[in-house]
């Protein structure tokens, strides 16, 4: 019960990494606010409550300041506090800076980077009152190194990594820790849209030094560690979970 009686907000939690994190938190006896644009967030809540967990669905566009402020207020109204924030919401649009449409650039920056700023902006004052809190920003190993045809995604996730460092320095004396997760390729719907065939997915897995994708549960375990008191002296890090992908070039 590593998160017993804690209140956690997880954005982008209707599927994939966000959903896995929300489920892992609920299993550790946290109250989880599942935040998503899609009504699938309600289905995620049903799955958690069916297993005896406690969860709340808040539909929210995390790129909109008014919507985020209202979301945070609704969580406070329901649970009275916020101890953990996981900024996981994200999208990907393929293209280099020449081919990428301006709207796609704006959408990626807003969803992947601006949302971290907005959610943190309205949650940190709550944590500050309690003199404690843990924020986990889900970045990417593309926030640590570049990649072809994902210019906007690299820019946004690189911004998340350095924003994490800045927030850690700004708020550490207030009892608030801020860390980033940097997953490599994970078999989520987001990746499957980019690599739609089994053959293309096998090629992606072959580029990982360990030769296989991490599981959603493994990503969630890392988020749980950073959210819990087990990591109470860790702040400002960007933790790769990529099977060695960011360690260097794979020669053989």
| Three-class SS state of 182 | strand
- Expressed in angstroms, the distance from the first to the final Cα of the chain is 43
- Residue 55 to residue 120: CA distance in whole angstroms: 20
Q: Give the DSSP H or E segment for 133.
A: strand 133-138
- Which residue, among 118, 121, 166, 113, has the nearest Cα to 138 in the 3D structure? 113
Scanning 39-150, the segments in alpha helix (DSSP H) are 40-50, 65-79, 102-109, 115-130
- 153 as an active site residue: the answer is yes
Check 79, 122, 141, 153 and give the catalytic one: 153
| Three-class SS state of 33 | strand
Residues annotated catalytic, as ranges: 153
């Amino acid at each position: 019960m590593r998160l017993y009686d804690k209140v956690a907000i997880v954005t982008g939690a209707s599927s994939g990494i966000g959903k896995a994190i929300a489920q892992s938190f609920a299993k550790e006896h946290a109250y989880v606010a599942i935040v998503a644009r899609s009504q699938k967030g309600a289905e995620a809540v049903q799955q958690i409550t069916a297993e005896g967990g406690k969860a709340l669905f808040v539909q929210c566009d995390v790129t909109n300041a008014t919507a985020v402020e209202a979301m945070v207020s609704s969580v406070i109204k329901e649970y009275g506090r916020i101890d953990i924030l996981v900024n996981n919401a994200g999208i990907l649009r393929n293209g280099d800076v020449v081919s990428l449409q301006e709207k796609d650039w704006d959408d990626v920056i807003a969803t992947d980077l601006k949302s971290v700023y907005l959610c943190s902006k309205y949650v940190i004052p709550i944590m500050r009152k309690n003199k404690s809190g843990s924020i986990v920003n889900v970045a990417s190993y593309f926030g640590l190194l570049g990649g072809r045809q994902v210019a906007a995604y690299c820019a946004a996730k690189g911004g998340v990594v350095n924003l994490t460092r800045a927030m850690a320095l700004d708020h550490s004396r207030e009892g608030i820790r801020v860390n980033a997760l940097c997953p490599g390729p994970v078999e989520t719907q987001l990746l499957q849209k980019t690599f739609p065939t089994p053959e293309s997915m096998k090629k992606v897995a072959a580029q990982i030094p360990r030769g296989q994708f991490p599981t959603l549960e493994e990503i969630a375990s890392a988020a749980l560690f950073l959210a819990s008191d087990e990591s109470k002296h860790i702040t400002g890090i960007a933790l790769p979970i990529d099977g060695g992908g960011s360690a260097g070039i794979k020669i053989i």
